[in-house]
Every structure is written in C-alpha cells, then in structure tokens.
Chains A and B, each alone.
Chain A
C-alpha cells in the first residue's frame, strides 16, 4: 500500500510530459512505455517485499505461486475472445452487407438489429444470453449440454456482431460513389461491383477498427467472471480468498493487468500503424 502512494504521483507526470505525448519514433515510444511499466512493477514488488512480515511467505513468492493458474485462466479469456470475435465477425459481416441491401425490409431489419445490440451494455447482453439460452439442448433423444462458457461466448458475440456490422457498412459507404458509377457504366452487376470493386478497397479501411474492437473485446472478456465462469478474473479472486492476505490484492490484480496489457497493447500499436499506412494511400 505504501508503494502505491510513492508511485502514484510519478506515473502521470512521466506519461504526460516526458514520454507519452511527445512525437517520437513509434518503436522508441513503445519501448519507453514498456520500460516505465517494468520499473513500476519492480518498485512495487520490492516495496511489497520489504513491507512483508518475516514469518509469512513474501508477496513475490505468492505471486509466483499463483501465476501459472491465473495465466491459464488468462489463456481461457483469450480463447473466449477469439471464438466470440470469429462468430461475431462472421455474423456481423452478413448483417453489415444486409444493411446496404437494396431490399427495404432486409435493410430495415438489419439496421434495427445492429442498433439494438450496438447500444446495449455488454454486461446486460451477457446476462441476457446466460438466462435466455437453455443449459442443454434436446436433439432427438439425445441431450446435448450447453455449457455456460459457450453461452457467455455467444453473449459476447452479440455486441461484436453489431459493431462489425457498422464497420462493414461504414467501410462500404466510405468508398467514393464514383467507383460505383464507373463500375455500373462498365455494365458490372451490383454483386460484381460489391465483391470485385468496393469490398477489396473497403476491407483495408475496416481492418483497423476491427482490430480495435478485438482489443476491447479481449478486455471485456473479464465480464464473464460476473456470470460465474472460471476465467482469469475469477481465479485471481479465488487465489486472494485462499491466501486471505490484503497485501496480495494489488500485486495480483496488477499481474493480471499486465497480462492483458502485454496482449492488447501490441494490437493497439499495430492498429495505429495500419491506420497511418492506409491514410497515406486513401
């Protein structure tokens, strides 16, 4: 706890003035960010170590002891994120294409579905999926269990599909009308125009927001701990309950934060790189 008081004033100052906003080569900047985090973590651990009573295992030893379990949980979060993203993307692409359909009812229905799921809190959608879907399916005479983690994955896929739908629609609409017009004048059919001319150009513009959405989804997978699934968050809480040590709270949650950071930060950086690259050619 005392370590936190020492460190808090340091961090914003460092990020704000010296390292963060200044225009630096991106590799250098990201190295500095990671260095800052490493220092933060090291000082924290050392402080916690020093503060630990001699007759009890140190905070560091406990963190090392629980790390594999929590990391396993973290891998499960990643699995959920990849599955929800894949499902949400597949459904979202179809929904997004339906949004630009010339058939009024198709367009209106897909628009409504998109807006509904896009403007709903993710946690509420997750509960919605957990309680709406049955815990098992009866197909013929066979009972197929429908595990909670699968339901949670579907629940997270809902906001993803709505956001992907908007990314697809926006990407298609971002292509100048002249492209449609010239393709039409060359007698291409609407389907050919979409698949051969518009989408190949639009996909490039869709990738950065799609990756951004994935990073947000990955962080949001910790929500599934609320509905009782054994993810990294649940396991961390379990470890803390098992140890019953208040000085372990911050280090353990910080370790979990670091895992997510190590995974999501490179995605965010690469998204920016892509955005810049596509912006030049635009």
Chain B
C-alpha cells in the first residue's frame, strides 16, 4: 500500500470493454477505473487478455465494444487524436523494444524531439535527468545491445517518461529478466508509484503487487474474477478460482 499519497479522481475508465479476435473473445465485459496517483496491478494466468487490455488503453489494439476513456479522451472514438492520447499514456513492454540503432540517451530523446518538436537542448537535459533517475548515469552513450536486460528495461521506462505521461502502463516488464535484474526494475517502478505516478501493471510479481499496489485485479479468460486492496485480496480471497491461482503461484 502507498499510504503516502491521496488518490484523486479516475483518470482511466473502462466500461464494459469487449475484445474479440475473430470469434475468439479476449476481453469480456471488463469494467474498472484507475484513480489519479493509484497503482493498480492486474494478475492472472497467461492468455487471459491482460496484455490486450493495456494495448487497448493505448489504442494499439482497437476494442470490439464498450468504451475506454483516458483523462477525458475517448480512446475508441473514430476521430481519436492519437497524439493527445499517447502523450498522456506511456507504455513499457516485456521485450523492452528499445531502438537498437540509437544510444540510450537518443532513445529517450527521440520522441520529445521528433514528435513533440521540443527544444533539443531542453530535451537533452530532461533525458539525462531521467537516465539518472533510473540509475543509469554513465550509460547515456551505450547502445541497447551493450546493456543488460534490466538496464534496457530501465531505459525503456525513461523513454516513456520523457513524454511526461500522466499514466504509465507496464506490460509484464520483468517477465524476461532474471531475479536480480528484476529487482532493479521493480525498484524503479515502486519509486514512480511512490511519487504519485498513476501506474497500471500487468505482472506476475505477486510480492510486488502485494507491497506496492493500491488495488489488485485478477483476470481469467478475459473476465475480472475478483479484485480488492492487496491485503484483502491476498489475505482472504473470496473466489475459489482466485485461491487456486494464488496457491499455485505463491
């Protein structure tokens, strides 16, 4: 729990979201909201539509029915201003997806310079500060291929933060990492949450969810099975399915 900050009004609101790939339903009647400054973790077995959920919030994947709103922007509006949405939402992927032909610093600087058309000198100062924030000072000139998985993932976090987003989405950001480097990344995410950044994580890290999340959702087969504050959720799960899952992973 994060007793340090007060939760604000909802910033991400999902209402009865449906997503089908062909005849295959991936998300079914998913409704929930994330408050400003809240840290929400979504857990559940693989293939339960968690990653699709994050991609839908960022308009990387169109939804089949229902509605998603981010900071007042209707994501499924056909006339969606993608730039406005994506300035507000940063996303970090499981496979880092850094641009391999650019240095760590350039990776962080590219979008603010070319998309937001900001002053390069100001962007560079901000990018250096962000790299320091994710504890990678000295690695500015390194190419992604020269960095470890955990370091690459932290550059990816800095890259998303460079757009000054209001919400950060994390898609199993530690799933490809070994236990030690996992920790570096989780520490960075925890700091962000503690600073009041709105964070929505899809994760398999139960310890992290229990410790950092304000709210935990358990999804299976595209449906929210159970949710609640972590103490309640992990301490006394109500649904048999949740208990079975937690028994397996804990």
A interface list, Cβ under 8 A from B:
176, 178-179, 181-188, 192, 196-197, 200-201, 281
Within 8 Å of chain A (Cβ to Cβ): is B166? no
B60 touches A178 (CB 8 A): no
Residue numbers in B under 8 Å from A185 (CB-CB): 58, 60, 86, 89-91, 160
B114 touches A281 (CB 8 A): no
Residue numbers in A under 8 Å from B99 (CB-CB): 179, 182-183, 197, 201
What string of 1s and 0s marks CB contacts (under 8 Å) between B151-177 and chain A? 000001001100100000000000000
Residue numbers in B under 8 Å from A186 (CB-CB): 86, 110-111, 115, 159-160, 163
Number of interface residues of B (CB under 8 A): 27
Residue numbers in B under 8 Å from A197 (CB-CB): 99
One of B83, B90, B101 near A201 (C-beta < 8 A): B101
Within 8 Å of chain A (Cβ to Cβ): is B100? yes
Main secondary structure of the interface of A (DSSP, over half): helix
List the 5 closest pairs (A to B, CB-CB), nearest first.
A182-B97, A187-B86, A186-B111, A178-B97, A185-B91
Question: How near does chain B come to A182, taking the closest CB pair, in angstroms?
Answer: 4
**Contacts A192-B115, A197-B99, A200-B101; A184 near B60 (Cβ below 8 A):** yes
What string of 1s and 0s marks CB contacts (under 8 Å) between B81-124 and chain A? 01100110111010101111100000000110011100000000
**Contacts A181-B60, A196-B110; A187 near B87 (Cβ below 8 A):** yes
Q: Considering the chains assembled together, what is the distance between the CA atoms of A192 and B99 in angstroms? A: 13
Nearest neighbor of B156 in chain A, beta-carbon distance: A182
Nearest neighbor of B163 in chain A, beta-carbon distance: A186
Number of A-B residue pairs with CB-CB distance less than 8 Å in the complex they form: 56
A181 touches B97 (CB 8 A): yes
**Contacts A196-B110, A281-B145; A188 near B97 (Cβ below 8 A):** no
A181 touches B93 (CB 8 A): yes
One of A178, A179, A187, A196 near B83 (C-beta < 8 A): A187
Residue numbers in B under 8 Å from A192 (CB-CB): 114-115
Main secondary structure of the interface of B (DSSP, over half): mixed
Residue numbers in A under 8 Å from B95 (CB-CB): 176, 178
**Contacts A185-B91, A187-B163, A192-B115; A179 near B82 (Cβ below 8 A):** no
Residue numbers in A under 8 Å from B82 (CB-CB): 187
**Contacts A187-B83, A187-B86, A200-B101; A182 near B93 (Cβ below 8 A):** yes
Residue numbers in B under 8 Å from A176 (CB-CB): 95, 97
Nearest neighbor of A182 in chain B, beta-carbon distance: B97
Nearest neighbor of A187 in chain B, beta-carbon distance: B86
Contacts beyond the supplied A185-B160, A187-B111: 5 A-B pairs with Cβ under 8 Å: A178-B93, A185-B90, A186-B110, A186-B111, A281-B100
Question: How near does chain A come to B160, taking the closest CB pair, in angstroms?
Answer: 8
B115 touches A187 (CB 8 A): yes
**Contacts A181-B60, A197-B99, A200-B101; A188 near B93 (Cβ below 8 A):** no
Q: Considering the chains assembled together, what is the distance between the CA atoms of A38 and B58 in angstroms? A: 65
Question: How near does chain B come to A43, taking the closest CB pair, in angstroms?
Answer: 50
Nearest neighbor of B83 in chain A, beta-carbon distance: A187
Nearest neighbor of A188 in chain B, beta-carbon distance: B115
Residue numbers in B under 8 Å from A200 (CB-CB): 101
Q: Considering the chains assembled together, what is the distance between the CA atoms of A127 and B116 in angstroms? A: 53
One of A179, A188, A281 near B111 (C-beta < 8 A): A188
Q: Considering the chains assembled together, what is the distance between the CA atoms of A181 and B159 in angstroms? A: 14
A196 touches B114 (CB 8 A): yes
Q: Considering the chains assembled together, what is the distance between the CA atoms of A184 and B55 in angstroms? A: 11
Residue numbers in A under 8 Å from B111 (CB-CB): 186-188
Q: Considering the chains assembled together, what is the distance between the CA atoms of A178 and B83 in angstroms? A: 19
Residue numbers in A under 8 Å from B91 (CB-CB): 182, 185
Residue numbers in A under 8 Å from B160 (CB-CB): 185-186
Residue numbers in B under 8 Å from A187 (CB-CB): 82-83, 86-87, 111, 115-116, 163
